[in-house]
A and B are shown apart, each in its own frame.
Chain A
């Protein structure tokens, strides 16, 4: 809050306040109503609703709802798995882009590293030591964190556009290395990548052609990751991220070690990206250098921006939507990148905060405080006088 600013500050704030009201007015009524009702619920009621939603989501491929289903175009369980893996990757990217405000255009690089870790340690084509597939999930996370830190240390001093370009370069370097380094087998790639154990009626449960168990596994992982991320967001780390996103210089001045927390964000995002990459490799069972182009990075970014930068529910929904639309409307599948390119422009023009927008308790509190200050009764009319008065009181005390 900027209570100790120069007198001009009051005018600016009043202006901002007005803008906010305009923003409120511009919001679609339906979404605003739902949000209000949701905020009015008790904590346990929210959890109850979430649990019901989670169960429905969990059994989505089994229910196979008539209108939502992607059949006969695409196998619905596989489409569901696709949605889940996109949602997981978008969740990871939303930590970097949404929470900490670092635009990462090379996120597919982490996804690729995770996939290659799963491939190298489980594929029959690999000469490396073979380990059970499930062990590659934590291993993929560890390796991608190492890559995230390796990328972050030299580049995180950069800001905004420069960081975006450098991360883009990183994604390309990973892809090019996958082509150049012989051990990664370039275009030939790795086949027969492992899967979680377990058989049912003599058949393997986690099968390449059956999306349902993979989907359930991924959804379970998404729920765990979301709970952990929620805790992280409410901790000192999450507050530091918000401070960095809102104003990096101010955060630095107030004693937030910005570099350290940016590295945290990069590492966390990278780990989740690596995890989703390893799951993807396991389900598809085949990895080569063709699967990790910049276009995929852009789809992840589109998912995060679409859902609402800084909102983890938004990222999950955005990820699911981005992968669902081309599967459901198979006619537009060839145009999906074109469609998402146009969507990005239109969103930035009309609704830059995405579909759900930032749901942030801290910023919400500031908003309420501002409203309260603005509504204080004063001799002269209007909130502007009240905010102009405040700095003087502050000076006296």
Chain B
């Protein structure tokens, strides 16, 4: 052990903290981090909602997300988008993007519902132990991943460029482009929409009731199965939207196991903000996006982003497992 450690230290430079580089690029790192964070937050909401209602980590949610990403790529290629920037009017592009978004949302929602029916419902009917849910979800996650693998192969889908980002704002030397603005605003609007939906509507009240006490909620006439399906549906819809933004941001990132790392990061975001808490998912997502990006600039390699996120996950769980905002979907007041 000792000689291993010393050999690495003698080799020296495998880890170095480049603070100057980070501070020089603080502005872009923050903006880009927020953009990724918005995507994490949208996916994180799927984890949070299911956790709030069923008290389970939906391990297959990352595959719900990647199915949406495949739908985006297929739709856009079908519409004629390719690796080069299309020469279309902004309105035409916006129309195409909305079409792709709708396709992704439908596909993701369908996959989410399928996972619920196949991997969760039969276990619920049999009153299985908690570990069984996790293992069957892992099974579902693997099955979906390798369906894509066998269908599309081990290479990433060819890149699809939607539009060339144009700088819009300049805040103290930091340029904010149209793409970043679109993603963050759209994500925040969606999150606020879901938050209000859970707080104000009848179905939202049902979700909160089941989260608080499933048995009593059932006695009070809440249809638990319907609520659970609604939860998976909302999570799937948001994952579909996140998939569009992800393809926008990482055009060549659609690969059969591409959902895995993003899923872990989204889960970390959910835990960071307080799993089961919708506003926590937004906060955790944005924070984690920034932390990961700072880590990348500080340590100088994109691969470090993932390591930083995992370390953040461990630290959060150790120090404050309840997350920043605390975890309770049930305590949300209307």
Contact = CB atoms under 8 A, between A and B. Distances in A.
Contacts of B149: 337-338
B7 A160 contact: no
Contact of A338 (B130, B142, B310, B311): B142
B139 A161 contact: no
B176 to A, nearest CB: 30
A334 B313 contact: no
A103 B267 CA distance: 17
Contacts of A67: none
B139 A342 contact: yes
B143 A169 contact: no
Nearest to A139: B1
Contacts of B133: 348
A146 interface: yes
A143 B141 CA distance: 32
Contacts of A337: 142, 145-146, 149
Contacts of B135: 103, 301, 305, 344, 347-348
Interface residues of B, number: 54
B225 to A, nearest CB: 17
Given A160-B131, A168-B264, A341 B57 contact: no
B8 A181 contact: yes
Contacts of A305: 135
B311 to A, nearest CB: 8
B129 interface: yes
A169 B310 contact: yes
A295 B138 CA distance: 11
A177 B4 CA distance: 14
Contacts of A157: 318
Given A169-B310, A342-B143, 4 more contacts: A176-B303, A305-B135, A345-B119, A345-B139
Contacts of A168: 264
Interface in B145-174: 145-147, 149-150
Interface in A56-103: 101, 103
Interface stretch (B35-43, B120-128, B207-215, B284-292): B120-128
A172 B310 contact: yes
A168 B141 CA distance: 14
Nearest to A182: B14
12 contacts: A161-B130, A164-B134, A165-B267, A166-B313, A169-B310, A173-B307, A180-B14, A298-B138, A301-B138, A335-B146, A341-B143, A345-B140
A183 B8 contact: yes
Contact of A183 (B14, B132, B257): B14
A127 B10 CA distance: 12
Interface of B: 1, 3-4, 7-8, 11, 13-14, 56-57, 118-119, 122-123, 126, 128-136, 138-147, 149-150, 257, 260-261, 264, 267, 271, 301, 303-304, 306-307, 310-311, 313-314, 317-318, 321
A95 to B, nearest CB: 16
A162 interface: yes
Contacts of A298: 138, 142
Contact of B122 (A166, A169, A172, A349): A349
Contacts of B4: 120, 143
Contacts of B264: 165, 168-169, 172
A177 B150 CA distance: 29
Interface in A123-163: 127-129, 142-143, 146, 154-155, 157-158, 160-162
Contacts of A343: 139
A340 interface: yes
Interface string A321-365: 000000000000011011011111101110010000000000000
Chain B interface, DSSP helix/strand/loop, else mixed? helix
A146 B141 CA distance: 31
A284 interface: no
B11 A166 contact: no
Contact of A128 (B3, B136, B140): B3
Contact of A169 (B136, B141, B314): B314
A230 to B, nearest CB: 24
A176 B119 CA distance: 30
A299 B141 CA distance: 13
A165 to B, nearest CB: 6
A294 interface: yes
A179 interface: yes
Please indicate which of the listed interface residues B1, B14, B139 has the most CB atoms of chain A within 10 Å of its own CB: B139
Nearest to B261: A172
B146 A338 contact: yes
Contacts of A165: 57, 264, 267, 313
Nearest to A147: B1
B146 A348 contact: no
